[in-house]
Every structure is written in structure tokens, then in C-alpha cells.
């Protein structure tokens, strides 16, 4: 787009705003203060049935302030970057802090934990793309999909390309910026008609346009995924081995990380309260994060508290080795922060991977789950019951698509009954995983 987003200038602007807000808080007499400011620009183009459908230029900015007055805290934010608006926002946060109650755990992370080295994580790769080129790429992606025999309709292909800068500063004197880009192309297709329609999708996403998969390949895979779902059958209720496809397995890792996150633990709202040191998964599996991976989707040198990120190992040979803690949740639990304010970054599984085909071949009668729906995960008890669709496996071979069934169990038992992780690793998101083979779940159809 022609109104270019100058990341360097934006960074200077945000740094000045952050410093200004910190200074305002100091002048008001705040005990401590932290400020986050960000600006993004993105282009989103969608094409449907060969024609451009929407073209959007998204420009966002915001600044958020948390002020501590003694042991009390108040927060405020605004999308207006003017000095007057920032001053008003700081005053509002300060005002709120007069009414909140004392919390002796409130405050900034310890000054000695602030990040002090800032290696280049290679996150900034703008895509010099004119709107017409973006439309053409989306069109090629969709066309590759709709050209496949059996595809009857399309929900379109979407290209997004964005650049963002974020700044975090606090009254320890910490003030640092990170800038990065993200690009993606996605395609959603429909096959069949009337009561027999199915839809599915595929996508590619990366920090650099060079790392995106071929968009034609994305279109063709979306078509293959969609066609594979046609003429689904039902499943007979029973207990079967389940293969959770990579995207579903990634969801299970997400459930695990959510349950060992400080906020859930100190609220006693987790089925993994007080399980540090316990064996949760098979001993052949470890789970770690790699927050400073170059070009990593969630890479960062510091967390949302300004604390230097580090390579945490959450699960070590099946044992819960470490929780995910921010400085606040750590204080609540009487522990030290793990630099996970804002979550886990670039989560990886360390385990011997089984050949996907061999996993399937090893199943007498079972279910592959490729999609799940609904919110049937109880974080407090670990009870798990979700709507699903996928494929029926018999005698080691995929037989036909299935839908309209549920898979149910308890996450703690599901983790314990993990039998294998596949080599079909999905590397597009924050968590990377292959398929998971889990035994002992109930399927209702």
C-alpha cells in the first residue's frame, strides 16, 4: 500500500510515547509503572471464485498503562497516541488504583531479571506487495483448489501481510522495542451440494514470505482435505484407540500448557494443581519452549514483564518439571517467574517420532480425529468431551470419513495413555506436533 509503514519511525514514536507515559506516572507519585505500546499495519485481501471480494488496509495502534500505588494497581489504555490522551490515560489508571484493594503480590518483576541481551531474532521481513500482486497470489491459491475435480464452491482465499512494532517499558528503567512481520495465505473450499456439502481448508503462515509454502499447494491441499470428507458415515458408540491429527494434538498440548499456567494454578482452577514432579506423560516424551528461535512465530527476547526469556523444559521425560509462570503468578505460588508472562513461546516436543503410516497400520479398529468442535474441556477437572469428525480405521487402513460423533475422556488419563507421536509434524504455529495416538477414550455416535 502506498502509505508506507515506516517501522523505524513507528518504533521511535512508540518509544517516546512509552517514556512519556512512564514520566507522567512518576510525576503523579506512582510507586511503579509499566507501559506497553504497539502499532501494526496489515493488508488483507480475499478472493472468491476468481474475483476479489475484499481489500482491507488495517492500521492499529494502542498504548496501555499499569500504575502501582503502593500495593494497589490500576490499568488504562487508549488508541489515541497524542500526549494529551496518554496523560489522561495515566491519570485514569492512577485513579483506578485508588479504589482497588491492596495486593501484596502486586508489582513489577525483579529488576535483576530484566532482559539485558537482545540478539537479532530475524523476525522482520516485510513483503513488498502491491494490492494487485496480493490479489493475484490469492487468486492462484484458490484456482489451484477449485480446479480439482469435485470442488463445487469456495469460501475464498485470503492473503494477509502485516508489520508490527511493540514497545514495553517499566519504571525499572527498562524500555525495549521488538518489531516483526507475519504473512499468511489460506484457502477454504466446499465440495458436494445440498445436504451432502463439506468444507475444509488449508493455510501457510510465516515471518518471511520466503518461508511460505507454495500457494498452489495450499489450494490443492484444501481441495484434498475437503474431498476426503465427502459421504461421511456414523460411528458405533464404543471405546477405540484415537489418532489425534496434528492440529488436534496441538490443541491437547495447549490444554496441558493451560493447566500448568500460573493463573490457573493459583486460582485452583486446574486439574494439574500440585502436580510438580509427577509423571503426567510417558517417559519418552519431553516438552520444551524455544523462545529465541530465529524466525519463530512467537520469538521474543523478553516476556510481557520484561524478563529475559530462556529455554524452559516443562515436561522432562514425562514428568512435570516446571510450571508456566509470570512474575505475579510466581509470587502467588511462592515460586520464581519462568519468563512466561504472555504464555509459552515456540513449543516443541522432544520424543522419538513414529512413522505416521505405521501408526495407522498398527490400529485394528480405531478413529482418526481431524477436527473438533465445541468447548467441552473442563479445565478444573480435566473432563474432556468434544464433537469431532475424522476417519474410520480398520485393519490398519483408513476406510471412510466419519462425522457427528464425540470423543470423551479425562485429559490427565489421556496424557498418561499417549502411545505414540507421529512424524507428520505441523510446524506452522506456536506449538509444533505430529499426530498423537491416545488409547482408552469413549466415542459416541
Partner 1 sequence: MTAHCASSPLVLPTSEELLRYGSELLLTPGELDLDSLDAGLAAAMGPGIDFAELYFQYGSRESWSLEDGVVKSGGFSLDSGVGVRSMAGEKTGFAYASHITPEALRETGRIASRIVRSGQSKVARPAEPRTAQARYGTAAPGGDSGADIKVALLQQADRIARSADPAIVKVSASLGLVHDVVLVRASDGTLAADSRPMIRFNVSVIALRNGRRESGSSGGGGRFSLAELEQRQMVEAIAREAVRVALVNLDAVAAPAGDMPVVLGAGWPGVLLHEAVGHGLEGDFNRKGSSAFAGRLGEKVAAEGVTVVDDATLDEKRGSLSIDDEGTPGQCTTLIENGRLTGYMQDKLNARLMGHALTGNGRRESYAHLPMPRMTNTYMLGGQHQRDEMIASVRKGLFAVGFSGGQVDITSGKFVFAASEAYLIENGKLGAPVKGATIIGSGPEAMGRISMIGDDLELDNGVGICGKQGQSVPVGVGQPSLKLDNITVGGTQS
In the complex, least distance from residue 379 CB atom to partner 1, rounded to whole angstroms: 8
Chain positions 131 to 150 lying near partner 1, rule: CB under 8 A, are 131
Positions in 323-352 near partner 1 (CB under 8 A): none
Interface pick for partner 1 out of 255, 322, 385, 417 (rule CB under 8 A)? 385
Write the CB contacts of 170 (distance below 8 Å, at least 6 apart in sequence).
22, 32, 33, 34, 35, 108, 306
Q: How far is the CB of 229 from partner 1 (least distance, A)?
A: 8
Which is nearer to partner 1, 197 or 353 (by Cβ)?
A: 197
Looking at the Cβ atoms of 255 and 378, the one nearer to partner 1 is: 378
- What minimum distance in Å lies between the beta carbon of 64 and partner 1? 8
Site string for partner 1, 165-194 (x = CB under 8 A): -------------------------x----
**Minimal distance, residue 293 CB to partner 1, in Å:** 27
Task: Show the DSSP H helices in 116-214 as ranges.
Answer: 131-146
384 binds partner 1 (CB under 8 A): yes
Give the Å distances, CA to CA, from 11 to 62, 111, 127, 166, 178. Answer: 13, 24, 19, 7, 8
* Pairing assessment for the beta strands 353-354 and 72-78 based on DSSP bridges: unpaired
Listing DSSP states for 268-308 in one string gives: T--TTTT-TT-B-S-TT-EEEE-TT-TT-TT--SB-TTSBB
The reply on whether position 117 binds partner 1 by CB under 8 A is no
Q: Which of residues 203-262 bind partner 1 (CB under 8 A)?
A: 232, 237-239
User: Which of 224, 228, 269, 353 touches partner 1 by CB under 8 A?
Assistant: 269
Is the CB of residue 361 less than 8 Å from the CB of residue 241? no
Residue 76 engages partner 1 in binding (rule: CB under 8 A): yes
**Under the criterion CB under 8 A, does residue 9 sit at the interface with partner 1?**
no
Using CB under 8 A, which of the segments 90-98, 333-341, 360-368, 421-429 binds partner 1? 90-98
By CB under 8 A, how many residues form the interface with partner 1? 80
383 binds partner 1 (CB under 8 A): yes
Taking alpha carbons only, the member of 309, 287, 313, 315 closest to residue 296 is 309
Tell whether residue 426 is a contact of partner 1 (CB under 8 A). Answer: no
147 or 196, CB closer to partner 1?
A: 196
Min CB(355)–partner 1 separation in Å: 31
The verdict on 12 binding partner 1 (CB under 8 A) reads no
* C-alpha span between 362 and 91 (Å, rounded): 64
Q: What angle do CA 58, 63, 64 make, to 5 degrees?
A: 130
Q: Is 345 exposed, middle or buried (0-12, 13-18, 19+ CB in 10 A)?
A: buried
Q: How far is the CB of 67 from partner 1 (least distance, A)?
A: 11
Distance CA 181, CA 196 (A): 40
Site for partner 1 in 19-48 (CB under 8 A): 48
Closest approach of partner 1 to the CB of residue 304, in Å? 15
Q: Select 93 or 280, whichever has its Cβ closest to partner 1.
A: 93
**d(C-alpha 81, C-alpha 62), whole Å:** 7
Count CA within 13 A, CB hemisphere, residue 198. Answer: 24
Amino acid at each position: 500500500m502506498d502509505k508506507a509503514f515506516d517501522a523505524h519511525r513507528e518504533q521511535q514514536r512508540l518509544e517516546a510515547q512509552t517514556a512519556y507515559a512512564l514520566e507522567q506516572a512518576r510525576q503523579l507519585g506512582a510507586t511503579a509503572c509499566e507501559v506497553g505500546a504497539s502499532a501494526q499495519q496489515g493488508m488483507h485481501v480475499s478472493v472468491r471464485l476468481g474475483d476479489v471480494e475484499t481489500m482491507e488496509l488495517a492500521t492499529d495502534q494502542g498504548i496501555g498503562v499499569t500504575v502501582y500505588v503502593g500495593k494497589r494497581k490500576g490499568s488504562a489504555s487508549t488508541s489515541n497516541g497524542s500526549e494529551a490522551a496518554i496523560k489522561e490515560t495515566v491519570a485514569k489508571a492512577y485513579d483506578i488504583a485508588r479504589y482497588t484493594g491492596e495486593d501484596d503480590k502486586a508489582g513489577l518483576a525483579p529488576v535483576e531479571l530484566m532482559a539485558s541481551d537482545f540478539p537479532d531474532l530475524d523476525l522482520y521481513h516485510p513483503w513488498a506487495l502491491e494490492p494487485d500482486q496480493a490479489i493475484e497470489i490469492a487468486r492462484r491459491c484458490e484456482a489451484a483448489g477449485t480446479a480439482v475435480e469435485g470442488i463445487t464452491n469456495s469460501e475464498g482465499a485470503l492473503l494477509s501481510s502485516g508489520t508490527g512494532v511493540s514497545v514495553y517499558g517499566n519504571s525499572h528503567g527498562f524500555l525495549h522495542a521488538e518489531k516483526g512481520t507475519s504473512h499468511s495465505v489460506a484457502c477454504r473450499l466446499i465440495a458436494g451440494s445440498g445436504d451432502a456439502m463439506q468444507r475444509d481448508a488449508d493455510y501457510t503462515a510465516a515471518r518471511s514470505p520466503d518461508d511460505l509454502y507454495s500457494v498452489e499447494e495450499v489450494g490443492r491441499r484444501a481441495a484434498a482435505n475437503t474431498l476426503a470428507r465427502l459421504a461421511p458415515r456414523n460411528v458405533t458408540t464404543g471405546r477405540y484407540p484415537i489418532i489425534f491429527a496434528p492440529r488436534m494434538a496441538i490443541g491437547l498440548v495447549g490444554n496441558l500448557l493451560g493447566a500448568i499456567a500460573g493463573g490457573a494454578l493459583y486460582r485452583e482452577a486446574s486439574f494439574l494443581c500440585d502436580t510438580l514432579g509427577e509423571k503426567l506423560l510417558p517417559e519418552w516424551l519431553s516438552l520444551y519452549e524455544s523462545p529465541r528461535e530465529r524466525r519463530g512465530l512467537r520469538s521474543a527476547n523478553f516476556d510481557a514483564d520484561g524478563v529475559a526469556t530462556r529455554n524452559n523444559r516443562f515436561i522432562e521425560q514425562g514428568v512435570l518439571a516446571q510450571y508456566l509462570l509470570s512474575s505475579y503468578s510466581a509470587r502467588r505460588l511462592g515460586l520464581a517467574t519462568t519468563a512466561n508472562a504472555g504464555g509459552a513461546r515456540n513449543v516443541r516436543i522432544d520424543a522419538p517420532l513414529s512413522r505416521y503410516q505405521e501408526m495407522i497400520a498398527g490400529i485394528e479398529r480405531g478413529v482418526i480425529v481431524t477436527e473438533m468442535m465445541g468447548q467441552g474441556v473442563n479445565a478444573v477437572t480435566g473432563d474432556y468431551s468434544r464433537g469431532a469428525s475424522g476417519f474410520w480405521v480398520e485393519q490398519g487402513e483408513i476406510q471412510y470419513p466419519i462425522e457427528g460423533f464425540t470423543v470423551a475422556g479425562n485429559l490427565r488419563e489421556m496424557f498418561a495413555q499417549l502411545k505414540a507421536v507421529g512424524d507428520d509434524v505441523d510446524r506452522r504455529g506456536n506449538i509444533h506436533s505430529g499426530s498423537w495416538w491416545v488409547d482408552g477414550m469413549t466415542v459416541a455416535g
